[in-house]
């Protein structure tokens, strides 16, 4: 249960060694580089450095696009359990020739994308034109001949079928020719020609009839000729698209090296961003940051040995400094740091509650999952999955939480007599179905212990700071009150319990408002308000009944699954395979949904009931300069 002490580190050296030093610090991954706070008029120009960073970010963006684009065509079978490929430190530092080759490869991919876009655009445009021309295939005159002359006007378009008959009847015997070309949905397609002497009147009749001129485009041949030509263009565009798709498939072989190149650029970007936090002159640089005290000498020794032109010194944080927070616990407790950081980073002056919280969290997890079979499955599979998948640091912590929780689940599953929904023992130690009261009392007892532990941690924090009276007034008073009230429930202890509870109540009544006012009357009123808070303790205690409820639900659902399996298996050999599928699938579903629910509710009990008694947040996480690849794992080999 420790927050690592931090030391200020200050480096100054020749600018020529800056990049090599940043690379070395990045590989060590234990120094956080912080920017200097300079006045605007004294700040040095950062335009060249910003230009270099923009260049790296531009290349990184192109590489990420190339990886994402090629991934669509990657037919290599992979699963969520597949580990990331390994890249060496040498591969993460490609030379100029290798970078030039890979940039040329990305250029080729961008050219493929451009050609693909052009082909898709052409195919879409031609398809639209074909759709416009298709209804007019029966129009057997060249489209360039459909134009007005001195003596005549031509019209091509659509109008409602009923209006066509009226139009033909109205203009029969007059210098107008109307021909039906075809049908399109609910419209009649027509071609018409009118003598110039009646063209104006005929145009008005067409307008009144709901005539819509056709949009046939700028073509010269007949509709049929143009339609056939466009079909040829469409086939060519589709063939070009197929060839481009085949080229994409061939380029997939370059996906692994592009992933490595992307991560190399990402690591380089991180160094470049760190370099922007330094102060530079023409020949020197100045670096300021934080280093954990346990590795302080290791970092200083590395700098003295490998960078003799760099001067480094460390110092304790100043009064105005806000050091970052790094948690440190042993291998068993460390995975549960993910629970703490998932709530909030503790204050640098606070404490790391992981070690105290860990046994309660794992215990709650086991009580809510409550099936020893599921616990065995978790305890066995988690190490195997970690070995196969090789997850990142954060994911590995969550895996180990499940693995350790699996061991506690085996214990509570044995106590509850539940093994994959079966109940092999005749007289189990605990029986949530037939003797629920015992389990409820146990859950409330563990909950009370959890709450009082939170109070004890708060008292320890006050004692550590030399605030002994605060520990008595703010924590011991509540312990006495709650313990006394609990003793009242035991007849043999009721006499002592009433005096213990009274002592705690008097401490709260007299001293809860000591920091708000010095007026005795107001302090007593404030104390009465604080005493009313005992009701919140009752609600907090009842929250632990979820341990009983979820544990009972897991066992009952498992029993129901087994009953269904038994009914199917009783059918005979035909039902056996179905019974096996229901058994495996049902218990996997039951385990998965209850593991998720147990994790969420265990976090809830820590965050609200436990942390609320003492936790001081407000810190910021320690973020060292390190290698954080996205697609690969970096090996020293």
Q: Packing angle between helix 354-369 and helix 372-389, nearest 10 degrees?
A: 120
Judge if 320 and 350 occupy the same domain: no
Based on the number of CB atoms within 10 Å of its own CB, is 284 exposed (0-12), middle (13-18) or buried (19 or more)? middle
DSSP 288: E
The reply to whether 496 and 587 lie within a common domain is: yes
Residue found under tokens 């948690």: 327
Q: Residue 40's pLDDT is what?
A: 47
64 part of a folded domain:
yes
Mind listing the pLDDT tens digit for each residue in 147-202?
Answer: 888 888 989 888 888 888 888 888 888 898 888 888 877 888 888 898 888 888 88
pLDDT of residue 46: 47
Phi and psi dihedrals of 138, rounded to 5? -80, -10
Are 311 and 205 contained in the same domain? Answer: no
For residue 302, give the CATH number of its domain: 3.30.70.120
Task: Assess if residue 7 is contained within a domain.
Answer: yes
pTM here? 0.76
**385 Cβ neighbours under 8 A, 6+ residues apart:** 81, 399
Domain boundary among 292, 307, 326: 326
Whether residue 228 is contained in a domain is answered as yes
- Residue 32 in contact with residue 296, Cβ under 8 Å? no
Domain assignment of residue 42, yes or no? no
Judge if 256 and 314 occupy the same domain: no
Are 113 and 227 in the same domain?
Answer: yes
Instruction: Answer whether residue 138 is part of any domain.
Output: no
Q: Which of 285, 309, 326 is the last residue of a domain?
A: 326
Q: Is residue 53 part of a domain?
A: yes
d(CA 117, CA 120): 5
- Residue 33 and residue 50: Cα distance in Å, rounded? 17
Residues 122 and 204 in one domain: no
Are 384 and 465 in the same domain?
yes
Assess whether 255 and 302 both reside in one domain: no
Number of separate domains in the chain: 4
pLDDT along the chain (637 residues), means of 10: 87 90 92 78 50 83 93 76 78 88 93 92 90 85 83 88 84 87 83 88 87 83 88 92 90 91 91 88 90 93 92 89 91 92 88 92 94 93 86 86 94 92 86 88 91 88 80 72 70 71 69 60 60 72 91 90 88 85 91 93 92 87 91 76
Question: Do both 317 and 208 map to the same domain?
Answer: no
Alpha helices in 391-470 (DSSP H): 393-416, 436-464, 468-470
CA-to-CA distance for 421 and 433, rounded, in angstroms? 12
Look at residues 142, 158, 147, 159 and name the one whose alpha carbon lies nearest to residue 215.
158
Looking at the fold, whether 196 and 207 belong to one and the same domain comes out as yes
Domain that holds residue 284: 1-37+277-326
User: In this structure, are 269 and 351 located in the same domain?
Assistant: no
What is the pLDDT at residue 637?
A: 54
Closest to 474 (Cα-Cα) out of 446, 447, 455, 493: 455
Q: So what's the pLDDT on residue 41?
A: 41
Residue 404 lies inside a defined structural domain of this protein: yes
| % of the chain at pLDDT higher than 90 | 40
Residue 47: what pLDDT?
A: 47
Residue length of the chain: 637
Please report whether residue 635 resides in a domain.
Answer: no
């Amino acid at each position: 249960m420790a927050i690592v002490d931090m030391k200020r580190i200050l480096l100054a050296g020749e600018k020529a060694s800056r990049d090599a030093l940043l690379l070395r610090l990045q590989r060590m991954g234990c120094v956080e580089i912080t920017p200097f706070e300079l006045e605007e008029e004294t700040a040095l120009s950062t335009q060249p450095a910003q230009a270099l960073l923009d260049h790296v970010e531009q290349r990184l963006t192109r590489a990420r696009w190339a990886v994402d684009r090629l991934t669509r065509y990657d037919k290599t079978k992979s699963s969520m359990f597949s580990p990331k490929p390994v890249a060496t430190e040498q591969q993460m530092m490609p030379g100029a020739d290798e970078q030039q080759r890979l940039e040329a490869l990305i250029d080729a991919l961008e050219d493929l994308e451009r050609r693909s876009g052009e082909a898709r655009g052409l195919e879409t445009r031609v398809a639209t034109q074909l759709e416009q021309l298709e209804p007019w295939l029966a129009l057997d005159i060249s489209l360039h001949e459909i134009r007005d002359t001195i003596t005549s006007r031509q019209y091509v378009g659509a109008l409602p079928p009923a209006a066509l008959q009226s139009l033909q009847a109205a203009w029969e015997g007059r210098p107008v020719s109307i021909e039906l070309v075809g049908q399109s949905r609910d419209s009649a397609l027509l071609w018409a020609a009118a003598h110039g002497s009646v063209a104006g009147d005929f145009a008005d009749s067409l307008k009144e009839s709901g005539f819509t001129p056709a949009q046939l485009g700028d073509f010269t041949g007949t509709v049929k000729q143009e339609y056939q030509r466009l079909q040829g263009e469409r086939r060519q565009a589709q063939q070009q698209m197929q060839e481009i798709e085949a080229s994409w498939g061939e380029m997939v072989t370059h996906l692994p090296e592009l992933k490595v190149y992307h991560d190399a650029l990402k690591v380089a970007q991180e160094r470049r961003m760190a370099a922007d936090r330094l102060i530079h002159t023409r020949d020197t640089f100045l670096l300021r940051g934080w280093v954990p005290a346990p590795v302080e000498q290791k970092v200083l020794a590395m700098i003295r040995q490998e960078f003799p032109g760099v001067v480094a010194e460390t110092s304790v944080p100043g009064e105005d400094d806000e050091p970052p927070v790094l948690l440190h616990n042993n291998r068993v407790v460390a995975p549960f740091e993910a629970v703490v950081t998932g709530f909030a980073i503790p204050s640098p002056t606070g404490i790391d509650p992981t070690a105290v919280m860990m046994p309660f969290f794992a215990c709650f997890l086991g009580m809510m999952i409550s099936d020893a079979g599921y616990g065995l499955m978790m305890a066995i599979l988690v190490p195997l999955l970690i070995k196969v998948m090789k997850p990142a640091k954060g994911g590995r912590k969550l895996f180990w939480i499940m693995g350790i929780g699996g061991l506690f689940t085996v214990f509570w599953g044995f106590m509850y007599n539940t093994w994959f929904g079966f109940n092999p023992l005749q007289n189990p130690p605990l029986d949530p179905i037939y003797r629920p009261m015992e389990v409820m009392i146990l859950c409330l007892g563990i909950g009370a212990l959890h709450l009082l532990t939170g109070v004890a941690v708060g008292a320890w924090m006050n004692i550590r700071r030399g605030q002994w009276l605060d520990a008595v007034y703010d924590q011991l008073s509540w312990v006495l009150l709650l313990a006394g009230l609990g003793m009242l429930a035991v007849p043999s202890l009721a006499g002592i319990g009433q005096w213990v509870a009274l002592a705690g109540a008097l401490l709260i009544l007299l001293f809860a408002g000591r920091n708000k006012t010095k007026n005795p009357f107001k302090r007593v009123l404030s104390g009465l308000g604080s005493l009313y808070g005992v009701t919140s303790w009752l609600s907090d205690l009842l929250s632990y009944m979820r341990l009983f409820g979820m544990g009972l639900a897991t066992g009952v659902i498992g029993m129901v699954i087994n009953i269904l399996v038994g009914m199917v298996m009783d059918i005979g050999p035909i039902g056996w395979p179905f019974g096996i599928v229901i058994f495996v699938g049902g218990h996997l579903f039951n385990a998965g949904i209850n593991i998720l629910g147990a994790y969420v509710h265990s976090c809830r009990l820590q965050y609200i009931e436990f942390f609320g008694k003492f936790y001081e947040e407000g810190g910021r996480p320690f973020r060292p300069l390190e290698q954080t690849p996205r697609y690969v794992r970096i090996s020293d080999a």
